[in-house]
Chain A
Amino acid sequence: MSKKIYVSPKVGVKIEVHGPFDLKKIYKIAKDYLISKQYDFTEKKYEWKDKSAGKEVDLVFEGERKISELMKFHIDFIAVGRKMNPHEEKIKGDMDMRVISYLELDYKDQWSSNKFLNFLFKVYTDGIIKWDIDKQSGRLYEEAAELQDKLRELVS
Chain B
Amino acid sequence: MNKKHTLAKDISVRWVGIFDLDDLYKKSKYWLDYQGFGNENFEEREYTESIKGEAKEIHWTWYSEKKESDYFSYVIETRALLVGAKPVEITKEGKKLTWMKGDIKIWITGYLLSDCKDKFKNKFIQTLYEKFLVHDRIEKHKADIYDKIYSFQDEVKRYLDLRQP
Residues of A within 8 A of B (CB): 23-24, 26-28, 42-50, 57-59, 91
Which residue on chain A has the smallest CB distance to residue B161?
A: A48
Q: Contacts A28-B165, A48-B162 given: A42-B17 contact, CB under 8 Å?
A: no
B11 within 8 A of A: yes
Contact of B17 among A46, A50, A59 (CB under 8 A): A50
Residues on B with beta carbons closer than 8 Å to the beta carbon of A43: 11, 150, 153
B164 within 8 A of A: yes
Q: A91 CA to B13 CA in the complex, in Å?
A: 20
| A46:B14 contact, CB within 8 angstroms | yes
| A46:B16 contact, CB within 8 angstroms | no
Residues of B within 8 A of A (CB): 8-18, 105, 150, 153, 157, 160, 162, 164-165
Q: A152 CA to B153 CA in the complex, in Å?
A: 28
Q: Contacts A27-B165, A28-B165 given: A42-B11 contact, CB under 8 Å?
A: yes
Q: A46 CA to B150 CA in the complex, in Å?
A: 12
Which residue on chain A has the smallest CB distance to residue B16?
A: A49
| A46:B162 contact, CB within 8 angstroms | yes
Contact of B15 among A27, A47, A91 (CB under 8 A): A47
Residues on A with beta carbons closer than 8 Å to the beta carbon of B17: 48-50
| B12:A47 contact, CB within 8 angstroms | yes
B13 to chain A, nearest CB (A): 5
Q: A42-B11, A47-B15 are in contact. List 17 more A-B contacts (CB 8 A).
A: A23-B165, A24-B164, A27-B165, A28-B165, A42-B8, A43-B11, A43-B153, A45-B11, A45-B14, A46-B11, A46-B12, A46-B153, A46-B157, A47-B105, A48-B15, A58-B14, A59-B165
Which residue on chain B has the smallest CB distance to residue A91?
A: B164
Residues on A with beta carbons closer than 8 Å to the beta carbon of B13: 46-47
Residues on A with beta carbons closer than 8 Å to the beta carbon of B10: 44
| A26:B153 contact, CB within 8 angstroms | no
A81 to chain B, nearest CB (A): 10
Residues on B with beta carbons closer than 8 Å to the beta carbon of A24: 164-165
Q: Contacts A43-B153, A46-B153, A48-B16 given: A23-B8 contact, CB under 8 Å?
A: no
Residues on A with beta carbons closer than 8 Å to the beta carbon of B11: 42-46
Residues on A with beta carbons closer than 8 Å to the beta carbon of B165: 23-24, 26-28, 59
